[in-house]
Amino acid sequence: MLLRINTGDGKYTYIKPVWDGNKLKPLVGTLNGKEVHRPEGRYYLRYTELGKNHLEPVGNDPADVLIFLKVRQAKLEVFEAAKATGLKVVPVDENPGRVTIQASINAYLAQLDRDERPEKSVSSKRFELGEFARFCPRRFMDELIRDDMVDYRKHLKKHGNVKTKGALHDTSVYNRLISIATWLKQNPLFPMRPLLKYPDDYPEKVDGDPEPYEPEEIARLRKACADNRERLILDFFLATGCREQEVAHVEFADLIEPLSVVRITKRTNWKPKTRAGKRDIPISPKLMERLLATKSGERKLIFPSPTGLVEKHFLDRLFYKLGDRAGVAHMTCHRFRDTFATVKVDWAKNVQQLRSVARWLGHSNLETLDVYARFLENRSKIVQESSAQMDTFGGEVELLDDAVPV
């Protein structure tokens, strides 16, 4: 018998529980030679059955734990007696028809794959649901209760950041809880209603303001590029406003030279984030020429990884290092998109041009541009300076080309 406790840094450890005669002291264990009471603790039973090791959650009620322990011991004794007489022992499912949390998660992820959801989206869901499964003390779907979600929400707000073991922003907590609610509702094995159903159950989702790169930051980034490839990647992000995975999947076949546009379209194992994501984005003839000049042999991808596959780590492989060299903090791929969007919205002089900007960004309506319009009201001076200076950064990133057809 073990007692699982929180170590305070977002991780868990197991300690020996303390007995009082033939009873367990409620949620009391031995840590560093001292008895400690850990109200967040959960009991686990560790045993070997037919040569297979098990670590099974058995709740936090000492009375229930003892009953479970006696049942398990009786079963193991029967197995041992049968083996001693030469009988073959075959394990039987003790919970026929019950669906485990892990089985439900696996079925949901498989369904997303069948629906051809983007690989990065499925990977994100796998991580988020895996973190919940590791935290949750339950084994079966029918055991889940609202308190499990409330406890997980508290955990995310204190230790949800896997890298730093610190708190997650309220918006990130909100998104995690929505992902779990979606899984509960849509998993094909045991669909159920979301366990958090009251308005106060979810933290407030705060949509942050756009954070475009300042003109001087762009200048420093371009100057800090180590070679032409780094500068070309940087310029492509700036000149198209594409999402990271859109850049990663763009191919030479997507460059329509006569129209001077780059086409964003789906692949066999990937598709844009939204239906409107399939689109043509105008680029300058000079950028088109530079992109085509990098074509060699049978290579399809314009910006492949070092192994020739789809690049999934633009930040780690390029932009974090580039930001360090240029002295630019908070490097993200989305800031390039914010830069493109704010400059283009400022450039648009009528509804038709605004519709073109929305289309270039992969949005289906103009409402999505409101956040940039509000930002421009507060930052008009900086954006105007950016508009005036953008073509001075080497003359190769033409974000405000009034000659572009709309």
Phi, psi of 305 (to 5 degrees): -75, 170
Q: What is the pLDDT of residue 91?
A: 60
Q: For residues 146 and 193, is the Cβ–Cβ distance under 8 A? A: no
The rounded distance, in Å, linking the Cα atoms of 358 and 366 is 6
Tell me the two tokens of residue 147: 């308190």
Q: For residues 181 and 194, is the Cβ–Cβ distance under 8 A? A: yes
Regions in the chain scoring below 70 on pLDDT: 8-10, 50, 87-97, 163, 204-208, 379-406
Q: What is the pLDDT of residue 389?
A: 46
Neighbours of 126 (CB within 10 A): 15
The rounded distance, in Å, linking the Cα atoms of 383 and 279 is 26
Chain segment 135-168, per-residue pLDDT in tens: 888 889 999 999 999 999 999 988 877 767 788 8
The rounded distance, in Å, linking the Cα atoms of 385 and 84 is 85
- Residues 215-392: name the CATH superfamily: Intergrase catalytic core (1.10.443.10)
The rounded distance, in Å, linking the Cα atoms of 165 and 265 is 38
Q: What is the pLDDT of residue 227?
A: 94
Q: What is the pLDDT of residue 257?
A: 94
Chain segment 328-357, per-residue pLDDT in tens: 988 999 999 999 999 999 888 899 999 999
What is the DSSP code string of 69-107? HHHHHHHHHHHHHHHHTT-------SSTT--BHHHHHHH
Q: What is the pLDDT of residue 92?
A: 55
The gap between the terminal CA atoms of the chain, to the nearest Å, is 70
How would you label 18-54 residue by residue, b for 16+ Cβ within 10 Å and e otherwise?
A: beeeeebebbbbeeeeeeeebeebbbbbeeeeeeeee
Name residue, tokens 């030679």: 33
- Residue 155's nearest CA partner among 284, 12, 297, 330 is 12
The rounded distance, in Å, linking the Cα atoms of 265 and 319 is 25
Radius of gyration for the alpha carbons in the chain, expressed in angstroms and rounded: 28
Phi, psi of 343 (to 5 degrees): -65, -40
Distances (CA, A) of 214 to 83, 186, 210, 383: 74, 42, 12, 8
Neighbours of 103 (CB within 10 A): 15
Residue ranges covered by each domain of the chain: 2-84, 101-201, 215-392
